[in-house]
Each structure stands twice: as C-alpha cells, then as structure tokens.
Amino acid sequence: MYDNVDFKLRKDKVGGVDFLRETPLYFDVTGEHYFENGKAVSGSLNGYKITVTENGVNIRDGSLCKYHLGDNFQTLGRSDTQRAIEKLSDTLHLPINEATVTRLDIAQNFIVKHPLSVYLNHLGELRHGKRSICADSSLYYYLNKGVLIFYDKVKEQKAKGQPIPEIYTGRHTLRYEQRYRKRLPVALGVEQVTGAMLYDEAFYINVVNRWKESYKAIKKI
C-alpha cells in the first residue's frame, strides 16, 4: 500500500556519524552549496533526491516502492517495506528505520471495466474537503490532513515514458492515493512516525483503514 515515502534523519538519532564526510560517498553527488551557517551536499539515489548537512540527511521526492521493486505500479506491503528500508539503510550506511517520515503515500491500483471518467463522475463532495478536477482528468480532494487523488495510472506512466506492466496493458486502471505531506503524527494520531513504524502491524492497519474510510466518506452520486 505504500508508494512515496520521504525521510529525515538527524544527528541526535545517530551517534558518531559525520554526515558531510561519510554519507555523500554512498549516493550520486550533483552539487555542493555553501551558506552562512554551513554546507549542504545534494544528489540522487535511484529516484530519490538527497540533501546532506552537518546536522543530518533528507531523503525526498522518491518512491520507496520504485526504489525497491523497480516500478511503482506495485505498492509495498509490510514485509516489502521492511526490506526496502533495510536496503536503503545498507546503501547509505544509516539507520533509516530510526528516521522521521515526512511524507507518506498510501495507494492501490484497481483494474476497472469502464473508462475512469465513469467512476470519477460518481464521486461527489467530501466533508471538510475541496473537490477539484485537474486538466488531466485526475480528481483531487484537498484536506487539512492530506490529499486524496484518483487518477489513470497507465496514462500517467505513458506520459512519463515508463513501461506498462503486461497485466495493465490495454486496461482501465484507476489509482486511488492518500497523501500525507505535513504534520504526519497529528494526521495519523500517533506521537511520531518513523521508518520502523511503517512495517509495524498496528500502524499499517491504522493507515490502511484511514485510506478506506476516507473513500467511504466521499458522497456517491
């Protein structure tokens, strides 16, 4: 169910790590930036953007699913999520399981019988949410605690020039996502959200149930 996941790891979580000296050895460095209060090194790792300062590392704008499985038509369950975080930890030589999660997308594909517009036209208003149809026919619901999105996954992948898995070729594929991008603990009713929590059973059930209930709360027309 997981797709995009961003992480932030600070030096108070990791003892004895010289982030600026060590961490850039393990990803593709594309730039160095100097500020009055220090230096930042930026780069990429298999679709992720990485920024390192003396205080820690930000890992953002990437799909944990694509990083681990090679594409994000699939999504990550608990076991795959644990393996993906272990892989990222081994690659960067950092305990990503202890990192703070700063973005979390819950998603699933549905192969449907009719064109997606048939289904999206039956999704009405959502209490406390702003309904918006974008130019590419995607449907968004903007909420204080995140965003709900319904869109054509095959169309999106074609636009990016990405290959389409055989199971989805020539089929109507509806993607439903719930994205959390700020104040995740408040949105999810927990004290904190860390990498390790993503594969904790109780937490996983919690976020999947919220994903389901958010859909049910949309008025059907």
Sheet holding 48-53, edge to edge: 28-35, 38-45, 48-53, 56-60, 2-10, 100-112, 172-180, 146-152, 139-143, 130-133
SS3 94: coil
pLDDT-derived band at 162, boundaries 50, 70, 90:
confident
Average pLDDT over residues 33-44: 94
Pair 53, 40: CB distance under 8 Å: yes
| The pLDDT value given to residue 160 | 87
Average pLDDT over residues 32-39: 92
pLDDT, averaged across the chain: 95
Percent of the chain whose predicted confidence (pLDDT) is above 90: 86
Predicted TM-score (pTM) of this structure: 0.93
Average pLDDT over residues 136-154: 93
Q: What is the domain partition of the chain in residue ranges? A: 2-216
Give all strands (DSSP E) within the chain, no chain letters.
2-10, 28-35, 38-45, 48-53, 56-60, 100-112, 130-133, 139-143, 146-152, 172-180
Dihedral, CA of residue 168, residue 171, residue 177 and residue 181, to nearest 10: 60
For tokens 């930026």, the residue is 42
What is the DSSP-derived secondary structure letter of residue 25?
G
Widest distance between CA atoms in the chain = 58
Percent of the chain whose predicted confidence (pLDDT) is above 70: 100
Does pLDDT of 22 surpass 90? Answer: yes
User: Residue 160 class from Cβ within 10 Å (0-12 exposed, 13-18 middle, 19+ buried)?
Assistant: exposed
